[in-house]
């Protein structure tokens, strides 16, 4: 294979023209379905091209259409929360779903894993982008604007160019479940980024505390630090509020850190403390005990986001619009299930 | 944000030239570090460009250099075995690692999840590719050759353009561990693709059977079917060879299916049957019980593969070459750990 690869020469349109006994222009017109070409000539060209295994140049097609046929999923979330140590977080699941959906519509997804030290946009020739959970004054949103790259958001501010992750519904599901599972004094640990998810969880938590008559206890942790920040925030809460009997921690990295703090404090999940997180991903499933979480239907989210972006680009697929179902609770051992 | 995005106009080189009081050519030469430009003029241009938030066009850069600065990870493995239902398999972990490594060297990774109904190469303007575990007469290898796209393989036939996944060492680790854990009659379930991993596991299993004096029992399952094929193959083996007390199943999708067959046969893992798989990924970790597996050091594999491809493209990074460490056993409950 190695030998073959090194000696292989690409079959060009000139090779097809020579073999077919026609001009390169006629061959190009025949293969691209443009101009006036006799149908028998066109078929002859196609047969010769197939026999020679001619592959049209993707780069030439891009130049002709002025499109890159590439999109990207981007996020300014710190790598510690969006992909995590194992690289298989929220971001990764969405990227895989979007890449598959995009390919079926003739688009390639460029993969830019969140990295704290590098700007992927400076390297990407893309027609559009999907921005995951933008922060207020998100630097990537600003750069997309400056580069005039069209984009949709996922889990951002409500609007026609946003795919709703239904943060408030997810928060309500988890808080009601904790209360129904026996919690009387649930606390909340949030990231400090001000993203819509964190704001909405905060709002729903405060409203629930008021409605159900428990005093709200909220801590914030630094997203860029990840699990260790979650551990420290939980340790602080447990020391200052020993009456807490449940923690709602929407960022799963923080939840895995909190598990350690609970253990270190000599308490057990779920016997002495209930614990719930948001995204039902690898981390929720592999923690010990596994964490109660919410199915956000990331497959449908990926599908809708790509569909909406392609519509924005004037390249809507033929498939019918899909809806993202309401988030669904996945009860696990961390809340006694 | 939506409003802003829609009314935003891209800042062009002409805008910078007008603002700087210079010709577009001088601006272009200043920003790209070419031609003879007075250093003070160059600094003035850079200051104006920064103030206007001018972003050079990635497409123009691509045209100038003739490179796409994009690579792809490709695989002809059926989606059922390379990514699996949760989309977080072997392929995904490698893709994330490679994307991060490539970005640091100025390359973008195009994400083409294995899909059985679609040819991503027809959509990709790439400078090079990484092909994961090619099969004999791999169709993607053939198309890369026809398109004259340089590529390296991962886990393929030994050679300078292959990153060795050390299949034989992984097989020996698992088989020795099963025997040391008390197995006297281990069986083997393989995919039928003829990939190097499957061939090497087969060879090492037969050699071990001969050396240790147990009769070899091998079944093959259809990779494109995934877990259900693994279940059926294991059910058949258990019915025909009730004396088997361990199964080595390198494809983790098959191993998860085999777990069901073992359960259905009224036997328990690890009490009545030991079970081990190859890749220490999400599936091995989330099975019940969790599966003994091998750490293949996919981070290092990703790193080496990108490094080797960039060297092939004449664009070697500045970092020192790294080695892939020897595979390491991860003993879990499925073998009594």
Domain B70-165+297-325 fold = Rossmann fold (3.40.50)
Domain B167-296+329-335 fold = Rossmann fold (3.40.50)
Q: Identify all chain A residues contacting B58, using CB atoms and an 8 Å cutoff.
A: 122-126
pLDDT-above-70 percentage for chain B: 93
How far, CA to CA in Å, does A218 sit from each of A191, A234, A247, B285, B310? 11, 10, 10, 33, 48
Domain A70-165+298-324 fold = Rossmann fold (3.40.50)
- A297-311 tens-digit pLDDT: 999 999 999 999 999
Contact A108 B103 (CB under 8 A): no
Q: Rounded to a whole number, what is the distance in Å from the CA of B242 to chain A's nearest CA?
A: 32
Q: Tell me the C-alpha distance between B175 and A308, whole Å.
A: 50
Domain B2-56 has CATH 1.10.260.40: yes
Contact B2 A161 (CB under 8 A): yes
Same fold, A70-165+298-324 and A167-296+329-335: yes
| Residue in B117, B141, B286 closest to A285 by CB | B286
Longest Cα–Cα distance of chain B, Å, equals 87
Please tell me which residue of chain A has the smallest CA distance to B280: A86
Please tell me which residue of chain A has the smallest CA distance to B289: A286
| Residue in A110, A125, A161 closest to B62 by CB | A125
B18-22, B75-79, B309-313, B327-331: least confidently modelled range: B75-79
Q: Identify all chain A residues contacting B103, using CB atoms and an 8 Å cutoff.
A: 112-113, 115, 118, 120, 123
Cβ-count burial A175-213 (b if 16+ within 10 Å, e if not): bebbbebebeebbbbbbebebbbbbbbbebbeebbeeee
Q: What is the ipTM of this complex?
A: 0.81
What is the DSSP code string of B304-321?
Answer: HHHHHHHHHTT---SSPP
B106 pLDDT higher than 80: yes
Q: Tell me the C-alpha distance between B82 and B75, whole Å.
A: 8
Question: Would you state the pLDDT for residue A4?
Answer: 40
Question: What six digits make up the tokens of A282?
Answer: 């690898």
Spans of chain A, pLDDT less than 70: 1-8, 63, 84-87, 116-117, 316-321
- A76-127 tens-digit pLDDT: 888 777 776 666 788 988 999 999 899 988 899 999 887 766 778 888 889 9
Measured in degrees and rounded to the nearest 5, phi and psi for residue B134 equal -60, 145
Q: Where are the domains of chain B?
A: 2-56, 70-165+297-325, 167-296+329-335
- Count of CB pairs separated by less than 8 Å, A with B: 168
Q: Rounded to a whole number, what is the distance in Å from the CA of A239 to chain B's nearest CA?
A: 33
Residues 187-206 of A with CB under 8 A from B: none
Residue with tokens 């688009």: A107
Identify which has the larger pLDDT, B232 or A61. B232
Question: Would you state the pLDDT for residue B122?
Answer: 85
Contact A58 B10 (CB under 8 A): no
Whether A320 has its CB under 8 Å from any CB of chain B: the answer is: no
Taken in order B208, B211, B214, B217, the sign of the CA dihedral is positive
Whether B112 has its CB under 8 Å from any CB of chain A: the answer is: yes
Q: Tell me the C-alpha distance between A256 and A260, whole Å.
A: 7
């Amino acid at each position: 294979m190695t030998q073959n690869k090194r000696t292989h020469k690409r079959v060009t349109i000139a090779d097809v023209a020579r073999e077919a006994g026609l001009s390169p222009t006629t061959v190009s017109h025949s293969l691209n379905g443009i101009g006036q070409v006799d149908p028998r000539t066109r078929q002859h060209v196609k047969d010769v091209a197939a026999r020679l295994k001619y592959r049209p140049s993707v780069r030439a097609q891009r130049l002709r259409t002025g499109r890159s046929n590439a999109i990207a999923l981007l996020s300014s979330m710190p790598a510690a929360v969006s992909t995590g140590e194992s690289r298989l977080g929220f971001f990764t699941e969405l990227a895989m779903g979007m890449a598959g959906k995009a390919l079926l519509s003739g688009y390639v997804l460029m993969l830019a894993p969140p990295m704290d030290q590098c700007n992927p946009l400076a390297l990407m020739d893309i027609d559009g982008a999907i921005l995951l959970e933008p922060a207020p004054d998100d630097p990537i949103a600003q750069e997309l604007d400056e580069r005039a790259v069209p984009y949709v958001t996922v889990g951002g501010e409500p609007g026609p160019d946003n795919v709703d992750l239904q943060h408030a519904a997810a928060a309500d599901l988890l808080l009601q479940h904790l209360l129904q599972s026996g919690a009387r004094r649930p606390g909340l640990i949030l990231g400090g980024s001000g993203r819509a998810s964190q704001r909405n969880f905060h709002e729903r938590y405060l409203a629930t505390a008021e409605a159900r008559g428990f005093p709200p206890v909220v801590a914030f942790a630094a997203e860029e630090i990840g699990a260790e920040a979650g551990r420290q925030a939980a340790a602080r809460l447990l020391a200052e509020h020993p009456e807490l009997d449940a923690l709602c921690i929407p960022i799963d990295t923080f939840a895995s850190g909190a598990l350690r703090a609970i253990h270190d404090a000599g308490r057990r999940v779920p016997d002495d403390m209930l614990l719930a997180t948001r995204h039902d991903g690898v981390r929720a499933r592999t923690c010990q005990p596994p964490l109660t979480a919410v199915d956000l239907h990331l497959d449908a989210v990926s599908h809708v986001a790509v569909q909406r972006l392609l519509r924005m680009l004037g390249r809507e697929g033929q498939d019918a619009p899909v809806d993202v179902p309401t988030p669904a609770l996945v009860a696990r051992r961390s809340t006694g299930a």
